[in-house]
Each structure stands twice: as structure tokens, then as C-alpha cells.
Amino acid sequence: MIAMRHKDVKQLNALALAYMGDAIMESHVRLHLLQLGNVRPHKLHRTATNYVSARAQASFLHHLMEHETFADEEMAVIKRGRNAKSGTIPKNTDVQTYRHSTALEALIGYLYLSGNDERVDEMMDKMFAFVEQPMKERSEIE
């Protein structure tokens, strides 16, 4: 992937960044599940939703906000993504959850289009660990 010029990425609207981030996250999750040995199509789809649903993404973003330090640029993208007005009403979640999910997708899209693949991989690895960590263990940590 050839990274866009930094200036161009900053000028993209938050929903365009989220559009790209959604695709990148979906791709990373699919590859991760295949590497884990999950190969049945129905099971792959069902398991993938544990990672890419709006609820899972919003929960992961909240976790990151409590435990992660973001660069100023990253925080600005998160805020832009959270405040973006999509014009669609989410079907399976509330507006607040949807906005936080969009914020995470915008961040991943921004990092990817900026050519910061290492940071994308870092964030995705953290997401895998977060989702795969048993709920009981997660609540003890927080």
C-alpha cells in the first residue's frame, strides 16, 4: 500500500477514514481467525462479530482510552470520528456506541492511510488480546 501524503489524509473527513478503517480491521480480523485455525465459514463470520461489531469496537476504544496514551494527532482523529454525523441510524446498537465504534475505525483508517502500519498492527494485536481475554479476567484487571 502506498501511503497518502500526510496532508491529504488529514483532510479526509472522519467518515471516509472510518470507511477505510472498517475494511482494514475486517481484513486483520479475518486473517487472525484463519491463523487461529477457524476455517468453517459460518463459525468465521460468527466469531468475527466478536471483534468487529460496533459494541466490541466501542468497548475496546473505552479500554484504550483508560490504558493507552495517544499522540495528539490520534486523539484529534478519535474526536473527529466520534463527532461525525453519519446520517444513518444504527440498527443493532445505540447512537453513542456507534459513534465510539466510528471513532476507532477512523483512527485505524487514519493510521493505515498515513502509512503507519506498525501502529495499526499494534492496535489490532491489542484488540485481539482484549477480545480474547476472558470476561472475568478483564473485569479483575479494570
- Residues annotated catalytic, as ranges: 22
Cell of 94: 445505540
Measured distance CA(40)–CA(45) in Å, rounded: 9
- Report which DSSP code applies to 13: -
Characterise 87 by phi-psi region: left (phi > 0), alpha (psi -120 to 50), beta (else).
Answer: left
Alpha-carbon separation of residue 67 from 70, 73, 113, 130 (angstroms): 10, 18, 25, 12
Measured distance CA(4)–CA(12) in Å, rounded: 11
Characterise 93 by phi-psi region: left (phi > 0), alpha (psi -120 to 50), beta (else).
Answer: beta
